[in-house]
Amino acid sequence: AQTVTQSQPEMSVQEAETVTLSCTYDTSESDYYLFWYKQPPSRQMILVIRQEAYKQQNATENRFSVNFQKAAKSFSLKISDSQLGDAAMYFCAYLKWNTPLVFGKGTRLSVIA
């Protein structure tokens, strides 16, 4: 079974600084999808960014970008110019064709003013 590992249970960052959240996954597949979801205190799960494994270019969404290293099975999330509203739980997730998402256990990000 696929596994997703987020090795940092908690992280903190100063407002306006940059932080990187780590994620590694285990798979023998060559075609799959990777996601980062954000869960603020409201509990709502929000998609931050999505990466297709066959695309070599790293996905970006405004201040959020990923470093996708397929050979290393690594998928880190970089948040630039951190804002107070970025404080949340962040979940990395893996998806292969016709199977459900597999989530990591999450990283709690605190933003310090």
Partner 1 sequence: DAEITQSPRHKITETGRQVTLACHQTWNHNNMFWYRQDLGHGLRLIHYSYGVHDTNKGEVSDGYSVSRSNTEDLPLTLESAASSQTSVYFCASSSGTGAEQYFGPGTRLTVT
Question: Binding residues for partner 1, per CB under 8 A?
Answer: 33, 35, 43-45, 47, 50, 52, 91, 95, 97-98, 100-106
Cα(71)–Cα(2) distance, rounded to whole angstroms? 16
Angle at 38 between CA 113 and CA 91, to 5 degrees: 115
Contacts of 10 (CB under 8 A, 6+ apart): 107, 108, 109, 110
Nearer to partner 1, 11 or 102 (CB): 102
* Shortest reach from residue 90's CB to partner 1, in Å: 11
Nearer to partner 1, 78 or 96 (CB): 96
Of 82, 87, 52, give the one whose Cα is nearest residue 64.
82
* Shortest reach from residue 85's CB to partner 1, in Å: 18
* Shortest reach from residue 29's CB to partner 1, in Å: 12
Nearer to partner 1, 82 or 90 (CB): 90
* Shortest reach from residue 102's CB to partner 1, in Å: 8
DSSP at 57: S
Cα(28)–Cα(21) distance, rounded to whole angstroms? 23
